Every structure is written in C-alpha cells, then in structure tokens.
Amino acid sequence: MSGFTLLDAGMRLALKQISAPFMPPRTTALALVEDPDLICRVHARSINAGVGIIRANSHEPLSKYVGEKRFGLNVDQLASLAGELARQAARNCARAIRVAGPLPVNARADYSARGSSKDRDRTLSLLVKGLSPYVDMWMAEHLANTEDLLGFELALRGDGKPRWASFGVRRHHDDELRATLQSGEAVEDAVIASLSSGVTAILLEGHCPDALACALTEARNVLRREDVDVPLGVLLRDFDPGAKTGGSRIRGTADCPSWDDRIDQWLPLGATLIGGYDGSTAEERTTSGRMRHKENSPCHF
C-alpha cells in the first residue's frame, strides 16, 4: 500500500476549534486582517499534526467582505498576506511543507449571484497575482461541474505551476449506480475534462466517505483506461447528518468511523492525497500511528 500526503482541514473549521472570535461568513477573512497571528497558529497546528500541504487562506479575502470599503485593502493585497503567512509557516518547519493556493472558481459558492462574470474573472486574476510569489501549486476547490475548469484555465493562463482540481461529489444513495458531481455530471467526465485542461492532480470532495470511495474508484478506472498517471485524492467535508458513513450518522459519536478507518477505505482505491473536514482536532490527528508512519513515506507530485 502506497504512502500518502495529508492536506489541511480547512481554515474555517480550524479557527472554530481554537475559538477564534469571528462569525461566518467572514470568519477567515476577518481573521486574516484583524488577527493574522491566528492564521499562523492554525497553519502551525496543521503542520504539527502531520500535514504535508497547507492551503493559503485565500477563499474569503473578497472585496465584498473585508476589502477596500472596510480596511482599504484590495483583493490582491489580502491574497498576498494569506500567501505570505502560509509560506512563513512552511519555512518554520524542519521538514518540507508545500503551500497550495486555493482559487474559488465556482462562482455560485463564493460570489454574489449578482456579480458579473467579468467581476469574477477580475477577482480571480487578483487572487493569482497576490498568491503567486508564495504558492507551490494552484488548487481549484468546490468545482460543481466541468465548465468551472474554464475559469481555472483562464485565471492561470501563462502560469507554469502545477494545477490541482477538486470536484464536489453528491451524496451517494443506495439506488444510485454511479457517483456524480454536484451538477449531476459523471465523475468520468470530470476526469476527462481535467486531463484535457492540464490538471496534474484530481481530488474529490464531499460529506459522505462512501460516496467519495465510489467516486475515487470511478476516477481510478478512467485513469487506468486512459493509461495516465495522475494523483488522486479525497477531501472530506464536515459530515452531512443524512450521509452514509458506515457507522453513526452523527458526527462525533463513539461509533463513528475513525479517521484511520477512512484512510484504510480510500488508500486501496488509489488515493494519495487525503484531507478535509473530519471533525477531529489537530492534536487528535497527531495521535494517529498512521499519520506518523506516513511521514516516513511521503508522496511528491
């Protein structure tokens, strides 16, 4: 069984775990500007828990939240601060830590419905400008469909850094034969589109570990058929109470599958990138023997 690389769990959940005094939807953006030491603390906790890739806090530094109106800072300045804090945390670690630059390509998830595509493209360009000096790779998160990849490509035109894409997977029902994206598109379509657009790693994200396992299997089958070696990964988001988990359907109960159980489920299916919202604290992850073992067999992409 191959080793794997652990990604961080996401800034909003991590700030909640350390009781940061900010409320959604501006949690991570306000922390970035008003108390950047909290961001540094979260990155350090993730690294101490065995994470090999941290994500810059760039998902919420949008002008409508904490930009020019409130702090006199524009999007690229906020993104630059987020990238600088992540890079600083990586440099402070004795082992190699990579920094990913998240890009909120899916407009429905991250922008006002009234915002024009021109405004969204400009914001993405500013995010890229601010993050570029600090990140090792780009990561399009929460992709709902294959069309979202176009915005990713346009934002990174001329940039030579690796591009990772993370697609949202719908909850899996017993009567469903195949896993699908949030848009209803097949996972196979997402893999093919990713290969065509030059994506160098494909991740699948969602609330349900079993749905992610199903999607991971389908993605691996496509890569084998196409004879392409592209890393696959999963990002588990905070549990959906109605999702199948193989145990309790309520997060945090004693009979809920452990983080190691989920890793045991995904590794044989080809996952070499694992992370996301599992509900545990950084300290709890550190106690995992598998986390300590994986540091001795890192994967590099």
Tally of domains in the chain: 1
pLDDT in tens, 91-110: 999 999 999 999 987 644 44
| 50 lies in some domain | yes
Question: In CATH, what number is assigned to the domain containing residue 281?
Answer: 3.20.20.330
Range of the domain at 206: 5-294
Query: Is 299 a domain residue?
Result: no
**Residue 300 falls inside a structural domain:** no
Parts of the chain with a pLDDT under 50: 1, 63, 67, 107-114, 239-256, 278-279, 283-284, 286-287, 289, 292-301
Q: Is residue 83 part of a domain?
A: yes
In a domain, 301, yes or no: no
**What's residue 222's pLDDT?**
97
pLDDT at 76 (0 to 100): 86
Q: What is the pTM of this model?
A: 0.83
User: Is residue 225 included in any domain, yes or no?
Assistant: yes
Residue 223 lies in a domain: yes
Residue 26 lies in a domain: yes
pLDDT digits (tens, 9 = 90+) for 218-273: 999 999 999 999 999 999 886 443 444 443 332 333 334 677 788 889 999 999 99
DSSP string, the chain: ----EEBP--HHHHHHHTT-S--TTSHHHHHHHH-HHHHHHHHHHHHHTT-SEEE-S-SS--HHHHSHHHHS--HHHHHHHHHHHHHHHHHTSSS--EEEEEE---HHHHS-TTS-HHHHHHHHHHHHHHHTTT-SEEEEEEE-STTHHHHHHHHTTT--S-EEEEEEBPPPPTT-SS-BBTTS-BHHHHHHHHHHTT-SEEEEEES-HHHHHHHHHHHHHHHHHHT----EEEEEPSPPTTS--SS-SSTT-TTSPPHHHHHHHHGGGTEEEEEE--S--HHHHHT-HHHHHHTTS----
